[in-house]
Amino acid sequence: APTLKSTYKIASIPGDGIGPEVISAGVEVLTALTKCKKFEGQFELDFTHLDWGTDRYLKTGKYTPEDYLQQLKEYDAILFGSVGSPSVPDHISLWGLRLAICQPLQQYANVRPTRILPGTKSPLANCQPGDLDWVIVRENSEGEYAGQGGRSHIGEEHEVATELSIFTRTGVRRIAQFAFMVAQGRPRKMLTYVTKSNAQRNGMVMWDEVVREVAKDFPDVTLDHMLVDAMTVRMVLNPRSLDTILATNLHADILSDLAAALAGSIGIAPTANLDPSRKNPSMFEPIHGSAFDITGLGVANPVGTLWSCSEMLHWLGESEAAVGLMVAVEKVCEAGIMTKDLGGSAGTKEVTQAVIEELGKL
Ligand code: ATP
Ligand code: MG
């Protein structure tokens, strides 16, 4: 037998709602990939499943064990499903698990590739695969989701609530540098950065300044600027004119849901939460949430998770396997084996099995 190059330790956190359904699809496909003819013996993935989610919270009052960060640091990567349940307010569950991982592990770069997969349809008329091929880089550690602010006089007529956006020069510079490197690595070498610096005259103006400063180190990247409101219009009316997109935590959150919908479905879109310093493990997850309206029906689209698994393989340095996985996913889409959100009639399991079969043919 060939000697194994490496074994990667992966923490899987299926979480809530359709999270367990799509994560089990991801684990099944990744396991099949390491055993398929083309990639057999190249590397192994060693999964540990962590039952961190709302059930645990309802029983113990905590989403995670006390030492969860130390535990996570033992892994090479984290595969995450989703968190959120009708039985707990969303801001409790989001801060209890997802943000409790991303922020302390310094996963400051949230990367969201979006393109139209072959065989699928964009809701935009005349928009074919190739007409929409973007990477959204989202600042993932500060900004509007810094968690600072407060409320006083709660429930009274004159109640006051503040929600502070925190932008640091260091934080903006590092995400800008990251985005320029992403843009530089793509054929068109174009970066569009998004702010709202006409109305927000402090943090957003600093963003403009820092991005333009960083631009001097990347003379080969074509840079342009959009205000976030105008950006939504450009994404819909002129998708071809965009390539790599940089935006704040809140703006990119919104723009990437729009991007996923324009590419065909929120069910296909992947996310990588990266610590570019590689001191901590990075986390990979579909962009969709727990989708309780379809939980347990077996119809959740696994493609967002499979694409996230591919991004994880890229980050681990297994780029050939990462590309192979997406080739298999695209063949399955092209053959029309798709879930309802993409206009098909296949279930999660059929799509998963079809991808595994394609891996066998690589
Ligand atoms: P959250 O609050 O965690 O964002 P949510 O239920 O508000 O969760 P999403 O989970 O993102 O929002 O789902 C939005 C809609 O998209 C839902 O109606 C859901 O049915 C659909 N959807 C999301 N993910 C998928 C998927 N993987 N496959 C099919 N449909 C999906
Ligand atoms: Mg949502």
pLDDT mean values, one per 10 residues, the chain (362 residues): 76 98 98 97 96 96 96 98 94 91 96 95 91 97 94 96 97 98 98 96 97 98 98 97 98 96 95 97 97 97 98 97 98 97 97 98 94
Binding site membership of 300 for ligand 1 (Cβ less than 6 Å): yes
pLDDT the model gives residue 3 = 58
Binding site membership of 304 for ligand 1 (Cβ less than 6 Å): yes
pLDDT the model gives residue 126 = 86
* Per-residue CA distances from 227 to 192, 234, 251 (Å): 10, 10, 10
- Reduced to 3 states (helix: H, G, I; strand: E, B; else coil), residue 20 is helix
Using alpha carbons, select from 1, 4, 77 the residue that is nearest to residue 34.
4
Binding site membership of 267 for ligand 1 (Cβ less than 6 Å): yes
For residue 266, how far is its CA from the centre of ligand 2 (angstroms)?
A: 9
CA-proximal residue: ligand 1, atom 8 (nearest): 289
User: In the annotation, is 196 catalytic?
Assistant: yes
Alpha helix segments (H runs only) across 36-89: 54-60, 68-72
Q: Which token pair is 107?
A: 């996963």
For residue 35, how far is its CA from the centre of ligand 1 (angstroms)?
A: 31
Considering only the C-alpha atoms of the chain, give the largest distance between any 2 of them, rounded to a whole number of Å. 74
Q: Which ligand is nearest to the CA of 290?
A: 1
CA-proximal residue: ligand 1, atom 26 (nearest): 267
- Kindly tell me the burial class for residue 31, based on how many C-beta atoms sit within 10 Å of its own C-beta (0-12, 13-18, 19 or more): middle
Q: Which token pair is 290?
A: 């727990």
From the candidates 76, 253, 275, 341, which is the catalytic residue?
253
CA-proximal residue: ligand 1, atom 4 (nearest): 289
For residue 128, how far is its CA from the centre of ligand 1 (angstroms)?
A: 24
Distance CA 157, CA 159 (A): 6
Residue whose CB lies within 8 A of the most ligand 1 atoms, among 85, 293, 294, for a mutation test:
294
For residue 302, how far is its CA from the centre of ligand 1 (angstroms)?
A: 12
- Collect all residues with Cβ–Cβ distance below 8 Å to 330 and sequence separation of at least 6: 117, 118, 119
Q: Which ligand is nearest to the CA of 260?
A: 1
Please report where in the chains the tokens 């990979």 appear, as a residue. 284
For residue 172, how far is its CA from the centre of ligand 1 (angstroms)?
A: 30
Distance CA 354, CA 337 (A): 8
ipTM of the complex: 0.94
Binding site membership of 129 for ligand 1 (Cβ less than 6 Å): no
Binding site membership of 163 for ligand 1 (Cβ less than 6 Å): no
Binding site membership of 318 for ligand 1 (Cβ less than 6 Å): no
From the candidates 8, 16, 196, 331, which is the catalytic residue?
196
Binding site membership of 301 for ligand 1 (Cβ less than 6 Å): yes
pTM, rounded to two decimals: 0.95
Binding site membership of 82 for ligand 1 (Cβ less than 6 Å): yes
User: In the annotation, is 90 catalytic?
Assistant: no
Residue whose CB lies within 8 A of the most ligand 1 atoms, among 288, 333, 351, for a mutation test:
288
